[in-house]
Structure formats: structure tokens, C-alpha cells
Amino acid sequence: MPKNKNKGPKMTTVVTKTGESLKLFEDLNDFEMFIRNEVEDDEFDNIHCQLKYYPPFVLQDAKDHDPEKIKDTENCHSKKFVRHLHQHVEKHLLKDIKEALQQPTLKFHDKSKDATFEKITWHYGEQTELHNKKFKVQIDVSCNNDGAMVDVDYKTVPIKEESEE
């Protein structure tokens, strides 16, 4: 299916209690297109987005790519699912985000993982600079025990230059 380049990404915007604008996505391509567009508009250094999606490897295993046919065992309790999800994140999701940010050499040196019975979360962070703007990229990717849906929390935060005193 050809992509319509004139059509913008499908998202929902909510305003949090703190007044922050939060963008919600249900499609990986729309999420990546939004990041690319923000870089082009020079608005990339103060963003908060969340994405909920089924990873491509899960949909490929489901009959006819139907989310209703995803196996119940596709969750954080499956070693195979967790391994494939981590590979997808490291080799595809982070790579695509780097390309959308026009930072192909970006390394996420700040990496960690939290795991409980209900949930596994990988944390990625790095400081970078684009168009003379310094900012921190923070990405949290989570899967839980009740399904194959993956949650991505993407945030960029400007880094203020220390003023001379």
C-alpha cells in the first residue's frame, strides 16, 4: 500500500494535569512520521509522545495479521516474545527513531531494564544536539503480562545552558 506523503500522522493530543501536551499514537509509522515532521519544523527538542502498538513480528505470526488472532502466550512471560521484542527495539525501533531525528550515529549509552511479574520496561536515554539545540532523548519501552501490546513513552527535553554567574 503506497504511503500518502500529504497525509499527516494519525494521533490524539491530550493535555495533562501539568499542562503538558501529550501525543498518543496507535501506529508505529505515524509515530515515526510525527518525529520526522517535528525535526523538519524545528520542534524536536520538547516532545512527549506515547505509542501503543503490536510489534511487526507479533502480527506476522498472527493469522492474516489479525490482532484478534494473537496468541495469549505473546506477553512478558514468554522468553521468546521478550527476546524478539528486545531485538525489534534495538535493531528497528531505536534505529528508526535515530533516522527520524536525523541522528544516525546517536548511541543510547544510558540503558537499563526493570522487570516485575506484571511488566518489563527497557529505558534508553542520551543527550544530543541538532540545529544548535541540546536536548535529552528518553525512551521507555514496556510489555506486560496480559498481552502482546507494547507501550512506548518517548520524550525529548531541552538542556538549558548553564548561565555564567
Q: Contact 93/162 with Cβ under 8 angstroms?
A: no
Judge whether residue 3 has pLDDT over 60. no
The pTM is what?
Answer: 0.88
The pLDDT assigned to 122 comes to: 98
Q: Is a pLDDT exceeding 80 seen at residue 4?
A: no
Q: What percentage of the chain carries pLDDT values higher than 90?
A: 68
Structural domain spans, the chain: 11-158
Q: Which of 153, 163, 77, 78 is nearest to 122 (CA)?
A: 153
162 has a pLDDT exceeding 80: no
- For residues 159 and 55, the answer to whether their CB atoms sit within 8 Å is no
Please write the tens of the pLDDT for every residue from 44-101. 899 999 999 999 999 998 877 888 899 999 999 999 999 999 999 999 999 999 999 9
CATH number of 11-158: 3.40.1000.40
Q: What would the grid cell of residue 120 be?
A: 518489563
The predicted pLDDT at position 163 comes to 53
User: Quick one: pLDDT at residue 131?
Assistant: 87
